[in-house]
Structure 1
Amino acid sequence: MTTAPLILLIEDDAQTRRFLKTSLSLRGWSMIETDCGKSGLAMLSNANPDLVILDLGLPDMDGIAVTRRLRQLSDLPILILSARSQEQNKIMALDAGADDYLTKPFGSGELHARLQALMRRVARSLSNQETFETGQLKVDLTRRKVFVADHEVRITPIEFRLLGILIRHAGVVVTHRQLLQEVWGAEHIHDQHYLRIYMGQLRHKLEANPARPRYLLTEVGVGYRMAVNDDD
């Protein structure tokens, strides 16, 4: 019998906690919960969860500060749930170390899908994956070869670095800042035109219809996401 993945929920709203506990338990998740940041940080080491769901509006600590501290303590996936819908809040949370961001109100189906994507990412990293596949796209990460419908596609070293980062985080958004820093360095974190050019080139090489991408998805104002097989 497989053990249900354990979620650490850090959320101060009792109604939201009840909703999440009920809806996610029906989908096979286990949950421990707290209403403040400090106890959440303590529970991280004591309970050994598989994933963290965090609200930004906590009574004792700023959620961004909790995110940074969680990331210092662990590489567990962190999903932000927040009523703060502004793009800047999303960017701040993701840059602080969160893996995904879902704005309230949200549906239980979408939340479940996001959690599954985060767990798949963990499974891929643990398996030291050498090949990534989604739809007709196949990337041999060891030999640095890319195929679409079994036909090899030639891409540049920079394009491959971008693609590799998105694959490493497949299913979740990667911010513009993170991509720019990892590919071009910290001095280029504001040069978003670099990303627009290279992502456009990648889409023309990999997508059947670059204007309606299947694999390289845009999270408007935030970053990009590599789609996985069961994305809509």
Structure 2
Amino acid sequence: MENDRTLMSEKILVVDDDEKICQILSLYLRSKGYEVFTCQSGSKAITSFEEFSPDLVLLDVMLPGMDGWEILKRIRKISNAPVIMLTAKGDTTDRVQGLDCGADDYVVKPFDSKELIARIRAVMRRSGQPEEIEKHIKIGSLDVDTNNRVVYVDGNRIELAPKEFDLLCYFIHNNGKVLTRGQLLDDVWGFEFYGDSRTVDVHVKRLRDKLGQSDFWSIRTVWRVGYKFERFDLPMDDADK
């Protein structure tokens, strides 16, 4: 999968008293294009949060000085930034406590790095989504019914495989953004998928073949990176939203 470094600028704060875990997470997340800051004590966590204004926090529960629950409560008083709790405990009580305190997700150590990045992306997507999801999308002759998962072109129903439909909707909802093949695999196929980037290319080709060319939109190949969906039926101010 391609490195997302040039395409992503989200900042992640890692709070964990284990220096080795901080180093491993920092290296891995930076390889995925995130800007990473780390600290190893509860007393420094709030100061680091206020200083760096992260887009997401990976927060260990057991910390010296101030535990993760207290840090989470303090963060929630000043910010709605997504927080994923990290803990060695996997019992239901801890999970419920974390969610009740305002955590967005909960990951039990040891965790798989691919699962963690998928959870990070999922939480970030949820935090950035509008409350109402568009149920019917019309772009020129293309009609997408997201409720019934049906697509029409010029009034003719187009039979799309489930992942082809998911990919099309993901492109539309990320209009104007360059999306790497790795990002598409993680966000459309999910972290449980262990295929390679050729899967994305095959599905994009099928979408293009089935939907045909249009004067109102295109799926453009970005050389050595991935793809970009572009709408031409929107005013300039709305095109990149």
What range is the shorter-chain TM-score in? 0.5 to 0.7
**Structure 1: stretches of 5+ with no match in the other structure:** 139-146, 152-227
- Alignment match, 1:6: 11
Distance 1:75 1:26 in 2: 26
| Cα deviation code 1:165-203 (max 9, x no counterpart) | xxxxxxxxxxxxxxxxxxxxxxxxxxxxxxxxxxxxxxx
Give runs of aligned pairs for residues 163-174 of structure 1, distance below 5 A.
none
Structure 1 stretches of at least 4 aligned residues deviating more than 6 Å after TM superposition: none
Q: How many residues align?
A: 144
Correspondence for 2:60 among 55, 60, 63: 55
| Counterparts of 1:21 and 1:129, CA distance in 2 | 34
Q: What secondary structure is seen at the aligned counterpart in 2 of 1:68?
A: helix
Partner Cα separation in structure 2 for residue 132 and residue 87 of structure 1: 35
Pick closer, same or farther for the CA change 1:24–1:83 going to 2, 3 Å: same
DSSP 3-state at the match of 1:85: coil
1:95 aligns with 2:100: yes
Which residue is equivalent to 2:21?
16
TM-score by length of 1: 0.57
Counterpart check, 1:119 vs 2:132: no
1:80 maps to a residue whose letter is M
Name the residue aligned to 1:66: 71
Matched letter for residue 87 of structure 2: S
Asked if the contact 2:8/2:34 (under 8 Å) is kept, the reply is no
Q: Please list the CA deviations of residues 129-181 of structure 1 after superposition, one character each: whole Å capped at 9, or x if unmatched.
A: 54269xx983xxxxxxxx23349xxxxxxxxxxxxxxxxxxxxxxxxxxxxxx
- Quote the Cα distance in structure 2 between the aligned partners of 1:86 and 1:137: 40
Partner of 2:149: 149
- Partner in structure 2 of residue 131 of structure 1: 134
Structure 1 residue 4: deviation in Å?
2.0
Instruction: Give 1:110 shift.
Output: 0.6
Alpha-carbon contact 2:7-2:33 (below 8 Å) kept: no
**Percent of pairs identical after alignment?**
31
1:84–1:123 Cα change, 3 Å = same
Query: Conserved in 2, the CA contact under 8 Å of 1:137 and 1:149?
Result: yes
Code of the residue aligned with 2:27 in structure 1: it is T
**What SS class does the counterpart of residue 148 from structure 1 fall into?**
coil
Give the aligned residue type for 1:27. Answer: K
Structure 2, unaligned runs of 5 or more: 1-5, 137-143, 152-186, 193-241
Q: Distance in 2 between matches of 1:93 and 1:124?
A: 22
Q: Distance in 2 between matches of 1:41 and 1:102?
A: 21
- Partners of 2:7 and 2:32 lie apart in 1 by 14
CA distance in 2, matches of 1:56, 1:22: 21
What is the DSSP-based 3-state SS (H/G/I as helix, E as strand, rest coil) of the residue aligned with 1:23?
helix
- Calculate the aligned-residue CA RMSD, in Å: 2.4
| CA deviation after TM superposition for structure 1 residue 121, in Å | 1.4
TM-score of the pair, normalised by structure 2: 0.55
AA partner of residue 96 (structure 2): I
Q: Which residue in the other structure is 1:78 paired with?
A: 83
1:36 equivalent to 2:44? Answer no
Provide the C-alpha distance between the structure 2 equivalents of 1:96 and 1:38, rounded to a whole number of angstroms. 19
Q: Which amino acid aligns with 1:149?
A: R
SS of 1:64's equivalent in the other structure is helix
Q: In the aligned structure 1, how far is the partner of 2:112 from the partner of 2:8?
A: 25
| Alpha-carbon offset, residue 3 of structure 1 | 4.9
Q: Does the 8 Å CA contact 1:24/1:108 hold for their aligned counterparts?
A: no
Counterpart of 1:108?
113
